[in-house]
A = this chain, B = another copy of it.
């Protein structure tokens, strides 16, 4: 229905509107009258025919006006950003309430250590058990971070279960429970949010198809890429790092046509998220999530660049240890018989036991006091990014007297923050590795980011301590800022663990601290170089491999034969094929057996020389035509044969076929040898090939 038609029908509706009755029907031409009758009589058993018709016409007019301003998909991109930011804000709000409730309960029981212990441990245990039970019973695909699955979907593989509405619901509720268990299980939000955003994107894509009045659904590709950017942007209010993240999670190429939509949707998401924060709290303006106030005059001495480089090396080395432990535990829970049995039947029990263990260890009246476990994750990060030195402040007795007011004092129970930081780092390493095995919706980025911040802070505090008693002992001069090291450490460690560079920009956008841009980028690059050396898998790669997801770049790391294996060796038969001179019988048979929208046509079934493809709808027309006519015609006489633009040879490697398929955005790729059709590569076929080749892993 084009716009001129729409305007005609709109005229009708305006006519109705003006007088409220059917007075000036004479204005309406006979033709339009007929249309109106047809439209209103379509479903005569439904009530309010006239009103329904009027609303429908109004909607069509609105669509027409919207469509003339910009294309419909841009509205969907904007809606994606706004909706995701709204979900993110709502989640933050609920989690904060739940965390405050825990805090209140704990403080009310002051003096009763046992009750305090029970409240400290059982609250997160019940929340995590609820999260596990709920998410597993509603949709088992909602467990974990979701980033490995999003990466797989972005490479082109279709995974409809991961984009369902039930999954969205399960993940959202489960994630709120997980985050509310906050300090004890120490898990984050961003990974699942990227996944949530892709689910919202998937739905909006379908809506967009309906709005444009198209029958066939457009591929979700662009929407998923945009959604990945929106996920990060609306979780942190950081649009540019969202776009960079989206570039990084792509398989081999980033299409430039997705660049502007990514920025647009990410900006909408970030703006909405920050505006909601402004409206809900007493903030006067849009601020970074973890706004810091580093000195602008002399943020660091040029010679400190060297220390930042060393910090990068340290973060890289630590990330290797962390990733090794992570891979080991993933292997362990897959091979240990007790755990395998437990995780297949009693997931909730496993969650409960593990969370109880973690919570007991973080109990603030025992070991927890040396891990600053009284602080929530947000407070942890804020305290680590403080710019004043803890070592020098700890000497100031007056500050220590008011522990409630200064979060940093949580880090100095013994007077020496370096010891607390060291204990925190040692304990959290294995606790975090354990927490990653919990079968509930949870993000693993933020914990890693905080861990890196602690690592950087330790280096910064040590340097500050040395400089206070050594080189720069002049008190009047600008001092070393350990907060800058914490920021660089956070970016470097999280970048090294995930093998990405976007955390460097995220660190800047999260804190609004542009003074440290160069050292942060440098530390992240160095840490990444170390972590990537020797073709070790990243955190997401390890999860992809463990879950056997059909994500080629991950699989290549553990199965190098994928680099060289030729397509011809693993290709199945071609599936249904029609010959040029096919009659109605053959066509009917192919239509019954195949579900493809395009059927390959060959010269003869003997020669198999590929001519092109015929649309399914054309085949149905052919059958209809043949049914009516007495004179039988052949397929090629009636149906238009569309040429096949790109063909690959059976000697192509699987890796190259994957790349061609993902870059050309095609649904199927024909394999020919000397013009003869040997097979068809589609995404399901590619998935099967990858599964076959990596079966022995």
Interface residues of A (CB under 8 A from B): 70, 237, 239-240, 247-248, 250-257, 259-260, 263-264, 267, 270-271, 274-275, 278, 284-286, 288, 291, 293, 296-302, 305, 501, 505, 508-509, 512-515, 517-518, 521-522, 525, 528-529, 603, 609-611, 643-649, 651-653, 656, 659-660, 663-664, 672, 674-676
Contacts and interface: CB of A to CB of B under 8 A. Distances in A.
A611 B652 CA distance: 14
A509 B248 CA distance: 21
B648 A645 contact: yes
A677 to B, nearest CB: 10
Contacts of A240: 240, 505, 517, 521
Residue with the greatest number of chain B CB neighbours at <10 A, chosen from A517, A651, A652: A517
14 contacts: A237-B518, A239-B517, A240-B517, A251-B256, A271-B518, A285-B302, A286-B305, A286-B518, A296-B512, A645-B648, A646-B647, A646-B648, A675-B675, A675-B676
Contacts of A254: 247, 253-254, 256
Contacts of A275: 302, 305
A54 B656 CA distance: 45
Contact of A270 (B514, B518, B660): B518
B239 A250 contact: no
Given A522-B267, A646-B647, A285 B256 contact: no
Contacts of A653: 645
A293 B513 CA distance: 13
A279 to B, nearest CB: 8
A275 B16 CA distance: 73
A252 B256 contact: yes
A70 B676 CA distance: 45
Contact of A512 (B515, B525, B645, B649): B515
Nearest to A299: B285
Output the residue of A247, A297, A514 with the most chain B CB within 10 A. A514
Contact of A239 (B248, B285, B521, B664): B521
B305 A284 contact: no
A503 B239 CA distance: 15
Nearest to A516: B286
A256 B300 CA distance: 33
A477 to B, nearest CB: 11
Nearest to A263: B501
A252 to B, nearest CB: 6
Contacts of A645: 648-649, 651-653, 656
A260 B504 CA distance: 13
Contacts of A664: 659-660
Contacts of A514: 288, 508-509, 512-514
A479 B239 CA distance: 27
Closest 6 CB pairs of A and B: A675-B675, A643-B651, A645-B652, A253-B253, A512-B514, A674-B675
B267 A256 contact: no
A285 B477 CA distance: 14
A271 B523 CA distance: 12
Given A247-B247, A254-B253, A674-B610, A521 B660 contact: no
A649 B651 contact: no
A249 to B, nearest CB: 9
Contacts of A300: 285-286
Given A284-B298, A672-B675, A501 B256 contact: no
A347 B515 CA distance: 45
A525 B509 CA distance: 18
Given A267-B518, A286-B300, 15 more contacts: A240-B505, A263-B501, A267-B521, A271-B305, A285-B300, A285-B302, A508-B514, A512-B517, A603-B674, A611-B674, A643-B649, A645-B649, A645-B652, A646-B646, A646-B647
A637 B515 CA distance: 67
A609 B674 contact: yes
A318 to B, nearest CB: 20
A447 B286 CA distance: 30
A260 B270 CA distance: 26
A275 to B, nearest CB: 7
Contacts of A285: 298-302
A265 to B, nearest CB: 10
A286, A643, A651: residue with the most chain B Cβ atoms closer than 10 Å: A286
Contacts of A264: 525
Nearest to A249: B256
Contacts of A609: 674-675
A672 B647 contact: yes
Contacts of A288: 514
Contacts of A648: 645-647
A253 B255 CA distance: 4
Given A646-B646, A648-B646, A252 B255 contact: yes
B660 A646 contact: yes
Nearest to A303: B285
Contacts of A522: 267, 271
A254 B254 CA distance: 5
Contact of A663 (B239, B250, B663): B663
Contacts of A250: 256
A254 B257 CA distance: 11
Contacts of A239: 517-518, 521
A659 B660 CA distance: 11
Contacts of A274: 518
A267 B508 CA distance: 15
Contacts of A237: 518
Contacts of A663: 253, 659, 663
Contacts of A647: 646-649, 672
A124 B515 CA distance: 37
Contacts of A610: 674
A164 to B, nearest CB: 29
Contacts of A251: 256
A86 to B, nearest CB: 17
B259 A247 contact: yes
A536 to B, nearest CB: 15
Nearest to A607: B674
Contact of A302 (B286, B305, B512): B286
A12 B34 CA distance: 100
